[in-house]
Amino acid sequence: MAEIGEDISLAKSLLLKGDLVAIPTETVYGLAGNALDADAVARIFETKNRPSFDPLIIHTDSLEKVSRFVTHIPAPLEKLAEKFWPGPLTLLLPKKSIIPDLVTSGLETVAVRIPSHPLTKSLLETLDFPLAAPSANPFGYISPTTAQHVESQLGEKIPYILDGGSCKVGLESTIVGLEDGQVKVYRLGGLEIQAIENLVGKVQVVLHSSSNPKSPGMLKSHYAPTKPFILGELNEMVDKYLLSGTDFGVLSFGKHFPKLSENRQISLSDTGSTHEAAKNLFAAMRALDSLDVSVILSELLPEEGLGRAVNDRLRRAAATESD
């Protein structure tokens, strides 16, 4: 079972090793890992049994540190940051390449927050990397607002829970972004709309049936290469396309095809690790998409571990608007 305590030094040492730690915020408890470490980020999805690579929110402790991870902060959003940070406000900002694609689901924006909980703020002050931290609960369960909630749901999967008492807000942060000069709210949360409008004027509320920050995962066709992306039985498809003379690439889960040049095939994991496959997915899709090929062939993974999450993205990549 997870140890529960208030030891910031222990929490820091675990995070530095790539482990996950539950942290308190004023909103809910988060399942935190080093946001710059793709392995740690993949472990977050795995631990939560999260069925899709929904974008994650990164947490840090100052505007100065935020500037290390984003290219700039648009003026209206900077106003909000100066007024409401630390606090239950998340901003969607253009990311720098230092932020792994796995954190943002391949989006060019990253969701950023400075939480106000004193214990977590003290922890963040000691770190030179941000923490990716979705709610510390298995996917689909009620968000935890005490250390005991976390322990009862994830206690067997993580080593440490930083105990900051009951969350003061108990409702996830309000997510705000800027599109075409218009301030938009993508998730209602702990910061009231009226408070935002008092500072930046009328906002547009764009709610999804998901709590994801600016979630593109609501679209059937998404996370797709520019080339046609086809899912199926790889051995059969490869033979068919070799006979046809079509130039194609292959994205597989541990398969290799001797008749196809090595630079036109990528295996997500030669060891059968869905964790490794998740970490490699976006980069592999981009690499194949950059080749001079007419089509990309791929296959589904076993529906276990992070396989479900990888398959979710593969299906979306293969979907078309007519599906």
Same structural domain, 160 and 252? no
Same structural domain, 102 and 194? yes
Question: Does residue 244 lie in a domain region?
Answer: yes
Looking at residue 209, its pLDDT comes to 42
Domain of residue 314 covers 229-318
Question: Does residue 224 lie in a domain region?
Answer: no
Same structural domain, 39 and 171? yes
In this structure, what CATH number is given to the domain that contains residue 302?
Answer: 3.40.50.11030
Question: Does residue 323 lie in a domain region?
Answer: no
Same structural domain, 22 and 117? yes
Q: Of 171, 189, 218, at which residue does a domain stop?
A: 218
Same structural domain, 197 and 259? no
Question: Does residue 192 lie in a domain region?
Answer: yes
283 pLDDT band, cuts 50/70/90, is: confident
Same structural domain, 189 and 146? yes
223 pLDDT band, cuts 50/70/90, is: low
For residues 83 and 80, what is the distance between their CA atoms, to the nearest angstrom?
5
Q: Which two tokens stand for residue 88?
A: 């239950």
Same structural domain, 200 and 258? no
Question: Does residue 12 lie in a domain region?
Answer: yes
Same structural domain, 235 and 202? no
Same structural domain, 99 and 235? no
Looking at residue 282, its pLDDT comes to 80
Same structural domain, 211 and 236? no
Same structural domain, 60 and 195? yes
Question: Does residue 153 lie in a domain region?
Answer: yes
Q: Of 218, 243, 266, at which residue does a domain stop?
A: 218
For residues 123 and 179, what is the distance between their CA atoms, to the nearest angstrom?
33
Q: How far is residue 234 from each of residues 9, 15, 181, 239, 319, measured CA to CA in Å?
A: 49, 39, 45, 8, 17
Of 131, 140, 163, the closest CA to residue 150 belongs to: 163
Q: Of 159, 185, 218, at which residue does a domain stop?
A: 218
Dump strand ranges (E) for 84-212. 89-94, 109-113, 131-132, 160-162, 174-179, 182-187, 204-205
Q: What is the pLDDT of residues 224-278, one digit of tens each?
A: 788 999 999 999 999 999 999 999 999 999 999 999 999 999 999 999 998 899 8
Q: Is 102 exposed, middle or buried, given 0-12, 13-18 or 19+ CB atoms closer than 10 A?
A: buried
Average pLDDT score, the chain: 90
In this structure, what CATH number is given to the domain that contains residue 156?
Answer: 3.90.870.10
Summarize the confidence of residues 34-58 as an average pLDDT.
89
Same structural domain, 166 and 84? yes
Domain count, the chain: 2
Question: Does residue 300 lie in a domain region?
Answer: yes
